[in-house]
Structure formats: C-alpha cells, structure tokens
Amino acid sequence: MNMLASYLTLAAVLFCVGLYGVLTKRNAIIVLLSIELMLNAVNLNLVAFSKYGVQPSLTGQIFSLFTMTVAAAEAAVGVAILVAIYRAKTSVNVDEFDELRR
C-alpha cells in the first residue's frame, strides 16, 4: 500500500551511488556531477513526502525548488573554481589539489 517506502528506497540507492562516485572518482567534474546526483536524491525525498507525507502540502515541492537553485549556484561556482585550478595546474585530478594539506 505504501509507495512512499519505494520512493525513499530509490532515493537512498541514488544517494549511495552518488556518494561512491564522490569518494572514488578522481576527475573533478565527475565528482561535481556525483554531488548533483546526491542533491537530486534529496529532492526526490522532499517531493515524495510532499505527496505521501502525513500532511501533504506544497512546502516540500517549494523547498525542493530552493534546493535546485542552490545546487545551480554550487555547480556554477564549482566549475569556475575548477577552471581556475586547471589554469594553475593543468590537471583536473582531485588527488593533485592538495596545496592546503602540505
């Protein structure tokens, strides 16, 4: 009877796939894309709860719109930082971005 559990499970699977990508991939662009995937999984939860929660309301959908906006800002700044680092190091390998750690 409960579709909500199915949606939450799908979101959990997508979130974990995104997390695995963030942790293992070395290409900075793939890392950024994986973060977008995780944000999308969260949005799916919000929209699912906005329909199947105890009190269905539009707040979940509106909140997911705000999340998408912040994700767009994050992607824009992320790609800009990536291009700036690429100019300095000629590489997009995240293992080489370790100046702050040395």
Shorter beta-carbon distance to other proteins: residue 87 or 102: 87
Check binding of 101 to other proteins (CB under 8 A).
no
Binding to other proteins (CB under 8 A): which residues in 16-75? Answer: 16-21, 23-27, 29-30, 32-34, 36-37, 40, 43-44, 47-48, 50-59, 61-62, 64-66, 68-75
Size of the site for other proteins (CB under 8 A): 73
Smallest separation, CB 60 to other proteins (Å):
9
What is the phi/psi pair of residue 60, to 5°? -60, -45
Residue with tokens 């994986």: 34
Contacting other proteins within 65-84 (CB under 8 A): 65-66, 68-77, 79-84
Beta-carbon contacts of 57 under 8 Å, excluding residues fewer than 6 positions away, are 50
Q: Is 87 in the site for other proteins (CB under 8 A)?
A: yes
Which residue intervals of 28-100 are DSSP H helices? Answer: 28-52, 59-89
Q: How far is the CB of 89 from other proteins (least distance, A)?
A: 10
Whole-angstrom distance, CA of residue 46 vs CA of residue 41 = 9
Phi, psi of 45 (to 5 degrees): -60, -45
